[in-house]
Amino acid sequence: MTSERVVIVGGAIMGSFAAWSLRQQGFAGSITVVEKDPSYRLCSTALSAASIRTQFGTPINVQLSLYGVDFFRNITRHFGTGADIAYKENGYLILGGPDTVAARQAGVAMQRAEGADIIALSPDELTQRFPKMRFEGVGIGTFGQTGDGWFDAWSLLALVRRAARALGVSYVDAEASGLRIAGGQVIGVMLASGDVLPCDWCVNAAGPASAKLVKAIGIDLPVTPRKRTVFSFRAPISPNGFPMLFDTSGIWVRPEGTGFIGGIQPPADQDPDATGDFEPHHHLMQDPFWSLLAARIPAMETLRLERAWAGHYEVNALDHNGILGPHDLLQNLIFSTGFSGHGVMHAPAAGRAVAEWITGGGFKTLDVSALGWNRIRDKQPMPETVVY
Ligand SMILES: Cc1cc2nc3c(=O)[nH]c(=O)nc-3n(C[C@H](O)[C@H](O)[C@H](O)COP(=O)(O)OP(=O)(O)OC[C@H]3O[C@@H](n4cnc5c(N)ncnc54)[C@H](O)[C@@H]3O)c2cc1C
């Protein structure tokens, strides 16, 4: 219907993929994206580690990633000749202790059955394949041979925004202050200026701020901003051939340009709601990050920190999984939020799901209802074991 109006709150990766995908699905009505910070400087997308993995504990997340892999490999097909997100499939290596071997092998079997190219490696095989690393305390490593890797999230965001604009999506520089409800529907998005944008559909893609948007209408979205720091450094070792490594200790590290980036989550009791706080966790660098890193990769005993930044994970406290699809009562309110650290890789599939729902009233290509609102309402987590 050409008279239908979609208003999307949040213009970063989730909002822009929803907008662009709507046009791909043939939506001919108006699409307005409301974005409070057109510089996108502090959004999670811009500050992320921009990596993609097909190693998840639930089939639905593996499927979302596989679509992301296909999308990134074929970026020029979607966004035209010259589109480049510097996608590198150098693999994800996820290490586990001896007590995790059986569970991790079962995980690999599931991932392979879903179509992901993952193998399990013993400590001896790990030593042969990754001679610059030490594997004390490791019982298994799982490795994404193809598909898993990293890319440039900023370029991806720029491409999808530009493509959406070219298809008639309008971006409005404004802050949404709340939603106007009547007759069991969202009928408008209220702006801080006092204006109201009338809508037939509203998509909440406000990332770490998505709970704030719906709080006043009585929806308790368990999504909060949690600060995660990225350290960017150089080491006396070539990054060529290095995978993205997730260690048993909780550290992660991967090549970035001619150096590396890495990080570690803060302890749970030092991980409050970080609204407005973008100061990096400098104290985590020396210890534990660096000491754990050097224990795993001895050449990183000496390194030079170049810079650090912090961004916000949009953590879904219920189960660290995305919240995707309609609200049960306000059925024209669609969520695309709460991806808790894996939202950039899942954005192409999430945008497609939102667009399918709005244009056809259901999920066509991939049934993502396991990620729906009802589990949040019922406080029934969908456990995902592979989260960082
Ligand atoms: C350090 C770090 C590392 C990460 N690493 C990875 C990774 O390797 N791979 C991966 O896939 N994901 C990763 N993530 C997670 C990923 O960045 C997020 O899941 C994803 O970016 C979420 O996208 P989003 O569009 O929902 O949120 P955002 O990118 O935060 O965008 C939300 C947008 O909404 C706008 N907004 C909010 N409220 C309002 C309002 N009321 N009115 C108008 N506009 C509003 C904001 O300004 C913002 O632009 C990482 C995140 C961090 C912080």
Q: Write the burial class of residue 317 (CB in 10 Å: 0-12 exposed, 13-18 middle, 19+ buried).
A: middle
What CATH number is given for 5-50+153-222+318-377 in this structure? 3.50.50.60
Distance set, CA 101 to CA 94, 97, 278, 353 (Å):
12, 7, 37, 34
Q: Looking at residue 387, what is its pLDDT?
A: 77
Tens digits of per-residue pLDDT, 214-248? 999 999 999 999 999 999 999 999 999 999 999 99
Tens digits of per-residue pLDDT, 133-172? 999 999 999 999 999 999 999 999 999 999 999 999 999 9
- Determine the distance separating the centroid of ligand 1 and the alpha carbon of 313, expressed in angstroms: 7
Longest dimension (CA), the chain: 64
Q: Does pLDDT of 2 surpass 90?
A: no
Tens digits of per-residue pLDDT, 78-95? 999 999 999 999 999 999
Q: Looking at residue 388, what is its pLDDT?
A: 75
| Distance from C-alpha of 301 to C-alpha of 53, rounded to nearest angstrom | 27
Query: Is domain 89-147+225-316 classified as CATH 1.10.1200.10?
Result: no
**Ligand 1 pocket check for 281: Cβ under 6 Å:** no
Tens digits of per-residue pLDDT, 92-119? 999 999 999 999 999 999 999 999 999 9
Counting atoms of ligand 1 from 1, which one is nearest the CA of 174? Answer: 43
- Determine the distance separating the centroid of ligand 1 and the alpha carbon of 17, expressed in angstroms: 12
| Distance from C-alpha of 388 to C-alpha of 376, rounded to nearest angstrom | 21
Mean pLDDT over each residue of the chain, to the nearest integer? 97
Q: Looking at residue 203, what is its pLDDT?
A: 98
Q: Where are the domains of the chain?
A: 5-50+153-222+318-377, 89-147+225-316
Nearest CA to ligand 1 atom 24: 207
- Determine the distance separating the centroid of ligand 1 and the alpha carbon of 120, expressed in angstroms: 31
Nearest CA to ligand 1 atom 18: 343
**Ligand 1 pocket check for 345: Cβ under 6 Å:** yes
Q: Does pLDDT of 281 surpass 90?
A: yes
Residue with tokens 């985590």: 284
- Determine the distance separating the centroid of ligand 1 and the alpha carbon of 289, expressed in angstroms: 24
Whether the model pTM is above 0.95? yes
